[in-house]
Chain A
Amino acid sequence: MFWLLFYSFFKSLVGKDVVVELKNDLSICGTLHSVDQYLNIKLTDISVTDPEKYPHMLSVKNCFIRGSVVRYVQLPADEVDTQLLQDAARKEAMQQKQ
């Protein structure tokens, strides 16, 4: 069974602007539209952070990103309660141990 903590966390961020950095070094900025249990991400209204270097996605407005290729998801600091997240993660880890 997948760890649902981060799935729930991302669900709470739907509608926010994020930057997803992929494992092929491409960075895509967009609005988080949806996420699933595999942490696949759908972004709408995307723009590549360096369009000169990466003109490949110029005609793409919405995209689906496979969870396995995500390196980082950059979030606005004021959208995340890090203390809450840390406590929740600790609790999940404890439960998984038992």
Chain B
Amino acid sequence: MIPLPLIDGRTLARVITYLNKHTEDDASDEAKRKFDEEFLYGMEVGVLYDAALAANYLDIGGLFHEVCQRIADGMMNKSVEWVRKTFHIESEFTSEEEVQIKKEYAWAWEGVDSNAD
């Protein structure tokens, strides 16, 4: 069991807005896609995290997927250090181990901007 924080009122309201659109009888797929675009556009990262938790807890697949994709898109070109800091990940690797891993997955670092290391 993973303890989840209670969903706050603001997030719940957003989830309801999403559900209302997606359960409309006469909303076409195209209209829903457009809605998702606008709904998620410019959403602050903290709000996205809340939405991801809420959608997961309430088992709303479509919203969960869209929000996770949005968060993933926002991670593009960020460095490994950034990911560690942002998600509070501790690395227990020694510096030799880090070099070793980078060699093993050299293809992931090919042709990359130096500041995205």
A binds B: no
